[in-house]
Structures are given as structure tokens and as C-alpha cells.
Structure 1
Amino acid sequence: MTRISGRIVTPGGIVTGHLDLDGGTIAGIVPDDTAGDDVIVPGFIDLHCHGGGGHTFTTGDPAAARAAAAFHLAHGTTTMLASLVSSPFELMRSATLGFRPLVDEGVLAGIHFEGPYLSAVRCGAQNPQYLRDPVPAELTELIKVGEGAVRMMTVAPELVGALEAITYLRDAGVLAAIGHTDASYDQTHAGVAAGASVATHLFNGMRPPHHREPGPVVGLLSSTATVELIADNIHLHPGMLKFAAGSAGPARSILVTDAMDATGMPDGSYELGGQAVVVADRVARLSRDGSIAGSTLTMDVALRNAVAAGVSLTDAVTMASTTPARLLGLSDRGALAPGLRADIVVLTPDLTRKQVLQAGLPPAP
């Protein structure tokens, strides 16, 4: 039996005491006011990540994907999707086949395709040469060869055939997300009605709100969709993060990194989806037009930034772990409770990462 002591952030609130582990499972929580002031939270679940530690998911290389997942695991992300960017179909298919064994092994929880069925007007750092309207045959093939590995796809709902694609994804058990979109408020709600359940990095890559045309941001916040929030203090002002999290609530908000391979690496020149990226002072931008190109964020820092922005610790933990677990249908993790998998991050009182366990074990050196 392993015991971890401190302030345990549970679904019912914070309990000062001991978290008892039996192998890879949480065995119990024992209250004890003398247990110390470390903060114990469930392992983070990141639904939107393109890479880290100098390794990328976007080329479909399994070795690079394994290394990127290991980098983020060391920062507390015990479950993650591998996010690709807009690409030719051949790369999408080969990446699905290449990553499927990693999903079977549990290194990845699945694949997220951010594109290519996105708005050219709001493409952001997506490569415009690969953008296109949804192609039903491509969706069918990816889901077929993925055998359950394809877990999420971002689509702009205003595109020709987008609503049909969203419904197809939903019916196939794939999370349909709305993002990189110039949709109106009504078009956004039509996308949710068709089956979309996630907003890809709310605010970013979207038509800005206007009081006479609320657009996708207000459309998504006023819907049933769960909204992704990049808590790096670059994509979103802390005040906007707090506002969005308060508007949607922790059960409909998730923290994501949108991290690229430059995460954890020195400033310099990088690449994303065939486009040159320059990273300076933690900010990644496309060389061609200065668009923000992903982030250099890790989930431990995202949690700390959310709390600093005014989100309560319990709500921030829900957004970083519990809500994304529910979206993925992973009922065995995402919270600290007896019987769940022992995915655990121990933080210092100032929320700096101290220890990580995945199914009760530390990351491999």
C-alpha cells in the first residue's frame, strides 16, 4: 500500500489527509488534519496537444508521438489526445495507422484532427493550402482504419456538407468540435444541434463577438457544447479565461494546452504543418504573418494560471481532469476517488509540480 499525504482535491471538495493506493488503483481517502500542505490532484487530461519536448504529433511519426506523450506525462498529463493540423488525406490516414498501436498500448487516448475542414477566413496557423470542405469518403476511411483511435475532429459548421459531417462523426462515436470558424450565431447553434459537443480553443480562430451578431463565441457559450480554454495568458487574457469558465461552468469547460513541439525547448525556429514558426519569449508565431501558432504550455502551468486568474482550485481541477475524462467516456479516471485509476499529480502549496503517477507508477526515466 502506498500513501500520499496532503490536501486532496476530490469531487466533493478538498480533504486534508492521506490518499492510499493499492497498486494502480486508489484504495481510499483517510482524513487527517496533520497530513501536510502539498496539493494532490488527479492526472491531467489534455484533449488538444500537437507536441512537446522537441517532438511533434503533426507528422504522424509514432516515435515522435511516443516522445511527445512522455514529455507531457512528466508534466502531469496522464491522458492525452494527439492533435494533428490540416494535412493531405494521405498523411491523415498514415498517422491514424501509425498512432493506432499507441492508442492500443495506452500511450495515447486517441487522435484529434484539427482540420482540414476549416474556414479559410479563420484558418489562423492552419496551412491554407490543405483546407477543404468535408469529404464523406475521407471520414469513413479514417474511422474505419482507426478502429476507435479517432476520438475528435474539429469542423467549421458553415462549410458545405459540414452539418452532415458533424452528425456522421457523432453517430460514429467521435467528438465533433467547432473551431476555426467564421460561422454566425445561428450557424453555430445548427452545428451543435447536428451533434457538435466541443468548442476548439474558444475565442481563438473564431469570428469575434459583436453585439448585433454574437457569432460562434457567444453561440458556443450559450449552447450545450464544452469549451476548450488555452490558459497560457497569451491566447486568452486571464480575465477572459475567468469570464468564459464562469459562463460555461466547470462541467462545460476544459483546460487544454494546444502545445507544439517547441514546448519545453529554447526559443528559435520550428515548424507546424509545413509552415515556419518562430518562438520568442514563449510565444509561437507563424513566420509568414505573425499568427499565433499553438502554445508552449503544459497542463501543470495551465492549472496554475487558471487558479491565478480567479478560477477556484476545485473548478480548475474539474476543468483539467474530470470534464475531459467525461467527454472521452473514461469513467475509470479524471478524479480522486476510491476505485479509480491512480493517475495523480502532487503539487507544492504554490501549485508547482512535484510528483506524477500514472496508474500508480512514476513516468519512466
Structure 2
Amino acid sequence: MEVVTGAPPDGAEVLTDGLLTPGLVDVQVNGAVGVDFAEVDPEGMAMVARALPRTGVTRFLPTLITAPVPVAVRQAHAVLAAAAALPPHAGAKPLGVHLEGPFLSPKRAGVHDPALMVAPGAAEIDVLLDDEVLRRALRMVTLAPEQPGGLDAVRRLAAAGVLVAVGHSDATGEQTRAAAEAGARMVTHLFNAQRPLGHREPGVPGVALVDDRFTLGLIADLAHVGPDVCRLVFNAAGHRVALVTDAVAAAGMPPGRYQLGGADVLLAEDGVPRSPEGTIAGSALTLDRAVRNIVSVGVDPADALASATVVPADAIGEPTLGRLEAGAVADLVWWDENLQPRKVWVDGEVVFDRAAAFESEAVGEAVGVAAAGQ
């Protein structure tokens, strides 16, 4: 279903308060609610699809971290098969696949395994683009353009319609600009796992902040990037910021041990997933909370919401997502005055209703109490 103009039909729901926006679009999701996309099956994909609308997300891009190229291809096919198996109106909808690696820099590995990283040579890119199923679904590749063959890989992937992002990169400012010249159009998790901003050598962030060709992925949990710097990013380039969660299986779960690409991730009481060595490993962030966090640092709510809707939708080439206009997909979020999702629609169908969920939980608790009293 799509957005149309004109008088509302008979029986239409009329909203008299709150805020109505397009559905949120998250282009970097490694997993959630205990599910790691590196080892996903149809049941796990369905769990994520059901859970994400509670956070306002209606479309998401499953992300796979560094693995050997043949393994990454196998994992991508498993993600696509699980997505294809989703029943109608299951919840949020996957948008394809984002490969965050293995074409990264060992110097900026983060929690990715440097031993599994390879240069993006012609043969490696052939494997991705010669796989017809994967080529149609490969929406985004994060790579380090300074690696041998990096710029040629950017050109080939961009020519194939893939969004190329600079990330996990030790690129200088000059090399980052060269990546843009070759067709790169995004930066993955700005400031994290990349050559830092310097006042003489701008690194990846410095060029990204001033080069209008880049969309800036930002993890706004206020741990990956501090509040003042988040505000600085919006002051400098707010119209190009795409809020992402970089969520891992720990998102939406209690403290404990989870998986990210087959490696252990520990979620502590502070809500930040880390490797056993203490390195931040993705996030447990939800995209609605990212919006609220950005509003809390002084960004206008309209700009914060744009960065979670139209900006990421445009970045991955989805002109009917992330906007309220005739012809757009009918993905909608009705928010309360505290920017908490009240009701969410995907393709015009309700996939989350907070009031109904609370009522169902209350009935369940009452049944439990009655059973305990018998």
C-alpha cells in the first residue's frame, strides 16, 4: 500500500494528537533479540521482524561482519532465504544485505578479526558480483579504500548499484576524498574504527564532514560518539546524517553473553556490548532511542527524525521509503509526546500497537495470577 492524497475513506483512523512520521529505516543491523544474522534461520529473522516495529523501524538492512569471502556469501544467502520466508505482515521488512567486511583495514579492526580481512582484489569482487542472487540483493559494502585494489573495488561496486561506504579504514583525508571520486557515498559509523580527525590531517571524519557526497552513519547511543560531538556532527552536516544502530544480538535483551559473527559479546549493566577484551562490539541501541538521544543534545526533532527516515532511505536508493508523500510506501509511525512509538504500520498494515500490546500483557498477567490462586 502507498500514501495517497484526498479525503480519508470511510472507517479511516483519525489521529488527534502525537506525531505521525514515515517508518524508520536502519541500514546497519547485525542482529537483535538474541538473533545474530551471521547464523540466522527463518524463525530468527521472524523474531527480529516482529521486534523492530516496537522501536519504530519498518525497514532494515541486515549486516554481516568480516568473514572469509565464501563464508560471507553463504551467510548472505542464508539471510536472503530467511527474509524470503517471512510471512505477509510479519513486521519490519529486510532490504537486502550489507557486507561490513572483509575488505577492511587490520589497523582499524575494532572487534572484527584482522586475520580474516583481505584486500578487495578483482577476484574477490568477482565472487560477489558474479553471484546473480547476491548481486541483486547486495545493497551496501563497507570497505577500506586505501587497501590494495580498494579504489577499483569502489568503482566496480558503485557501477553495479551498490552503496559503498568507507569504514574500518586508516585512510587519510586525501584517500577518503579519492574514494568519493571513485563512487563511495557513505561513511560507516563516523569516528569509530577509522583514522581520526586531526587539525592538519583530517582523516576519514574530517573529509566526511565537509564533502557533501558522503552520507554519515552515526551510532547515537552517546557511548560510541559523545553528546557534544553528536551535536557537532549535526551542526556541520545534519542534512547528511543517517542514524544507525549497529545493533547486535544483545539489542532488546538482558545483560548476558551473545554472539556477533560467531564471536562472544558481553552485554553489561551499562547497556554497551563489548568483546571479552573490553572493545565496544556494536550496540544494543534501538533507532527510536537514537532519535531521542539526538533530540536530547539539542537537535530539532524534525532533523533527528529525518536522519532516521529519508536520509538513510535516499542513501540506499529507496525513493519511496522514509517520506510522507503521494506514492510513498505506507510505512508510518505514530509517536506520543515523548517520542515513544504508539502504533506502527508497514505497507498500510498495523504491525505494532502499544495499547493492544499493553492490554494483552495485562490479560496475561491476570490469567497468571488466577492460575496461581487455584
Q: Given the alignment of the two structures, is residue 84 of structure 1 paired with residue 64 of structure 2, yes or no? A: yes
The normalised TM-score by structure 2 is: 0.85
Instruction: Name the SS for the 2:216 alignment partner.
Output: strand
Choose the corresponding residue for 1:361, options 332, 349, 358. 349
Q: Given the alignment of the two structures, is residue 72 of structure 1 paired with residue 52 of structure 2, yes or no? A: yes
How far off is 1:98 after superposition?
A: 2.2
CA RMSD of aligned residues (A): 2.1
How far off is 1:154 after superposition?
A: 0.5
Instruction: Name the SS for the 1:27 alignment partner.
Output: coil
C-alpha distance in 1 between matches for 2:225 and 2:201: 21
1:192-211 correspondence to structure 2 within 5 Å: 192-211=180-199
How far off is 1:104 after superposition?
A: 5.6
Asked if the contact 1:26/1:336 (under 8 Å) is kept, the reply is: yes
Are residues 149 and 63 of structure 1, via their aligned partners in 2, closer, same or farther at CA, if it must alter by over 3 Å?
A: farther
Q: Given the alignment of the two structures, is residue 45 of structure 1 paired with residue 45 of structure 2, yes or no? A: no
C-alpha distance in 1 between matches for 2:40 and 2:329: 29
- Counting aligned pairs with the same residue, the percent is 38
Amino acid at match of 1:85: I
Partner of 1:17: none
Are residues 205 and 93 of structure 1, via their aligned partners in 2, closer, same or farther at CA, if it must alter by over 3 Å?
A: same
Instruction: Name the SS for the 1:58 alignment partner.
Output: helix
Q: Which moved more, 1:96-105 or 1:208-217?
A: 96-105
Asked if the contact 1:117/1:154 (under 8 Å) is kept, the reply is: yes
1:50-65 correspondence to structure 2 within 5 Å: 50-65=30-45
How far off is 1:211 after superposition?
A: 1.4
Partner of 1:262: 250
Choose the corresponding residue for 1:131, options 87, 102, 117. 117
Asked if the contact 1:83/1:114 (under 8 Å) is kept, the reply is: yes
Are residues 99 and 268 of structure 1, via their aligned partners in 2, closer, same or farther at CA, if it must alter by over 3 Å?
A: closer
C-alpha distance in 1 between matches for 2:103 and 2:114: 11
1:152-189 residue CA offsets vs partner (Å, 9 max, x unmatched): 00011111111111111100100000011111111111
Q: Which moved more, 1:151-160 or 1:72-81?
A: 72-81
* Structure with the greater alpha carbon radius of gyration: 2
Are residues 143 and 77 of structure 1, via their aligned partners in 2, closer, same or farther at CA, if it must alter by over 3 Å?
A: farther
Between the two proteins, the alignment pairs up a number of residues equal to 338
The normalised TM-score by structure 1 is: 0.87
Q: Given the alignment of the two structures, is residue 142 of structure 1 paired with residue 119 of structure 2, yes or no? A: no
Choose the corresponding residue for 1:167, options 128, 149, 155. 155
1:78-104 residue CA offsets vs partner (Å, 9 max, x unmatched): 111100000122221112222334566
Q: Given the alignment of the two structures, is residue 292 of structure 1 paired with residue 272 of structure 2, yes or no? A: no
Asked if the contact 1:75/1:356 (under 8 Å) is kept, the reply is: no
1:19-65 residue CA offsets vs partner (Å, 9 max, x unmatched): xxxxx32234889xx96431111100011110101111123544423
C-alpha distance in 2 between matches for 1:350 and 1:121: 41
- Identify unmatched segments of 5+ residues in structure 1: 1-23
Partner of 1:113: 99
Amino acid at match of 1:245: F
- Identify unmatched segments of 5+ residues in structure 2: 9-13, 87-92, 358-374
How far off is 1:69 after superposition?
A: 3.1
1:260-339 correspondence to structure 2 within 5 Å: 260-280=248-268, 281-288=270-277, 290-339=278-327
Asked if the contact 2:265/2:275 (under 8 Å) is kept, the reply is: yes
Are residues 60 and 168 of structure 1, via their aligned partners in 2, closer, same or farther at CA, if it must alter by over 3 Å?
A: farther
Amino acid at match of 1:108: P
Partner of 2:175: 187
Choose the corresponding residue for 2:230, options 230, 241, 249. 241
Instruction: Name the SS for the 2:306 alignment partner.
Output: helix
Q: Given the alignment of the two structures, is residue 27 of structure 1 paired with residue 4 of structure 2, yes or no? A: yes
Are residues 277 and 325 of structure 1, via their aligned partners in 2, closer, same or farther at CA, if it must alter by over 3 Å?
A: same
Q: Which moved more, 1:207-216 or 1:95-104?
A: 95-104
C-alpha distance in 2 between matches for 1:190 and 1:65: 37
How far off is 1:215 after superposition?
A: 0.9
Partner of 1:13: none
Partner of 2:370: none
